[in-house]
């Protein structure tokens, strides 16, 4: 049986009055649609109030409307009227996009406080969504959202426009976005971001904590203060020979990141590969645990798409890539620093030998 999607998204758009694709002859009708949108969004009968609001006497006493602005704060009645005029002005050159995000109430209540999600939408989710849609600067976007509780499913209404030309075209040229239709990729990204925000405290954060724990364990293998220090192994002649050779090459160099000598770079990589090739070593087992932790994070994001029936899976691997790169660089620098230190130590011991000692 197919599961119901965790987030349902619907949207409409109104093309800008000056948009070349606009077919509206009656501009007043478009402007009226914008003004009416604010009255619908800010309707107090649809507003969600918490028990905290009830006990503090906040209900019916706060002078704000049911409309959250870009800064995460609720608009006053005066601000709502002001935004009506601003939106009509922006409609001259900017399209108006309107969307609805709806959820199963139990799903929300089991995973996140609805007002926390409200703030995340304003401060993180929508700005990231705008970048996905091709807009250059989220601060140049005019947007708002409103939580409604008047149906069986909690849902957010939101809308956005460009304050000024903000859409990136080819060759980094910036103008107003001409297309009003959102792509499936853009819609999927928004839905995935919403699900991630809802579930991250319960599922994602523990996975991230576990991954960071595995990184700490891996780093111990490259700490001279630890008993299982991999790079000090006199019994492994191959490893010792490679480290000694690297130390000779590094004598005039300092950090791996600044080294351009190809032999040094290749030898450092050889030492790393050699360490990873040792069968049944504790290090290799710990590294496998690290990789498993990263795979769990990847599966988490993969499930977000699958469980919400998103066919085109486009996972952002930035976090996983950064964790892999961090470990690689840490190991490379540990190898280089040890080889450098080891060779200098060898030089000192050679210089300390006197003529009588040789005889």
pLDDT digits (tens, 9 = 90+) for 174-231: 999 999 999 999 999 999 999 999 998 888 999 999 999 999 999 999 888 877 788 8
List pLDDT tens digits, range 29-87: 888 889 999 998 987 766 655 433 443 444 444 577 899 999 999 999 999 999 999 99
Q: What is the mean pLDDT of the segment spanning 335-358?
A: 61
Could you tell me if residue 68 is left (phi over 0), alpha (psi between -120 and 50 degrees) or otherwise beta? beta
Average pLDDT value over all residues in the chain: 84
Range with the poorest average pLDDT among 76-85, 94-103, 278-287:
278-287
Q: What is the mean pLDDT of the segment spanning 324-334?
A: 90
* pLDDT band, very low/low/confident/very high, at 101 (cuts 50, 70, 90): very high
230: which residues sit within 8 A by CB, 6+ positions away? Answer: 221, 222, 275, 283
250 vs 290: CA distance, rounded Å: 30
Range with the poorest average pLDDT among 105-109, 133-137, 353-357:
353-357
Secondary structure class of 143 (helix, strand, coil) = strand
Nearest Cα neighbor of 154 from 319, 326, 8 is: 8
Task: Look at residue 173 and tell me whether its pLDDT is greater than 80.
Answer: yes
202 vs 181: CA distance, rounded Å: 34
Task: Look at residue 355 and tell me whether its pLDDT is greater than 50.
Answer: no
Order of all β-strands in the sheet with 155-162:
7-14, 96-103, 155-162, 141-148
Please, are residues 40 and 150 in contact by the beta-carbon 8 Å criterion? no
Please, are residues 146 and 41 in contact by the beta-carbon 8 Å criterion? yes
Helix (H) or strand (E) holding 65: none
Nearest Cα neighbor of 161 from 177, 172, 173, 148 is: 177
Residues of the chain above pLDDT 70, percent: 85
Q: How many CB atoms lie within 10 A of CB 35?
A: 14
Structure token digits, residue 145? 């959202």
* Angle in degrees, 0-180, between the axes of helices 237-250 and 262-277, rounded to the nearest 10: 160
Q: What is the pTM of this model?
A: 0.76
Q: What is the mean pLDDT of the segment spanning 12-39?
A: 87
* pLDDT band, very low/low/confident/very high, at 112 (cuts 50, 70, 90): very high
The pLDDT value recorded for residue 2 is 57
302 vs 221: CA distance, rounded Å: 32
Task: Look at residue 348 and tell me whether its pLDDT is greater than 80.
Answer: no
The pLDDT value recorded for residue 85 is 95
Nearest Cα neighbor of 9 from 155, 167, 207, 177 is: 155
289 vs 210: CA distance, rounded Å: 10
| β-bridge partners, 12 | 98
12 vs 290: CA distance, rounded Å: 44
């Amino acid at each position: 049986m197919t599961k119901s999607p965790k987030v349902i998204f619907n949207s409409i758009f109104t093309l800008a009055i000056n948009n070349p694709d606009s077919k509206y002859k009656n501009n007043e009708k478009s402007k009226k649609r914008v003004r009416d949108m604010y009255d619908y969004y800010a309707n107090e009968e649809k507003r969600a109030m918490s028990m905290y609001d009830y006990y503090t006497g906040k209900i019916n006493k706060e002078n704000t409307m049911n409309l959250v602005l870009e800064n995460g704060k609720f608009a006053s009645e005066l601000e709502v009227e002001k935004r009506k005029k601003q939106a009509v002005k922006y409609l001259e050159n900017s399209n108006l996009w309107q969307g609805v995000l709806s959820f199963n109430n139990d799903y929300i209540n089991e995973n996140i406080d609805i007002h926390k999600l409200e703030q995340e939408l304003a401060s993180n989710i929508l700005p990231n969504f705008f970048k996905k849609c091709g807009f250059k600067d989220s601060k140049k976007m005019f947007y708002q959202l409103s939580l409604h509780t008047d149906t069986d499913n909690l849902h957010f209404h939101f809308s956005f426009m460009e304050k000024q030309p903000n859409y990136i075209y080819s060759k980094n040229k910036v103008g107003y976005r001409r297309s009003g239709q959102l792509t499936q990729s853009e819609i999927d990204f928004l839905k995935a971001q919403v699900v991630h925000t809802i579930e991250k405290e319960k599922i994602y954060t523990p996975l991230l904590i576990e991954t960071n724990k595995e990184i700490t364990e891996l780093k111990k293998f490259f700490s001279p203060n630890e008993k299982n220090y991999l790079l000090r192994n006199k019994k492994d002649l191959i490893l010792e020979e490679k480290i000694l050779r690297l130390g000779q090459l590094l004598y005039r160099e300092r950090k791996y990141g600044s080294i351009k000598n190809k032999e040094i770079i290749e030898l450092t990589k050889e030492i790393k590969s050699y360490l990873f090739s040792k069968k049944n070593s504790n290090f290799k087992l710990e590294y496998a645990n690290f990789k498993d932790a990263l795979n769990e994070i990847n599966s988490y994001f993969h499930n977000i798409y699958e469980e919400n029936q998103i066919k085109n899976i486009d996972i952002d691997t930035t976090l996983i890539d950064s964790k892999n790169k961090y470990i690689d660089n840490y190991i490379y620098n540990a190898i280089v620093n040890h080889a450098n230190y080891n060779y200098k130590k060898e030089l000192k011991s050679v210089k300390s030998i006197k003529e009588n000692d040789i005889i």
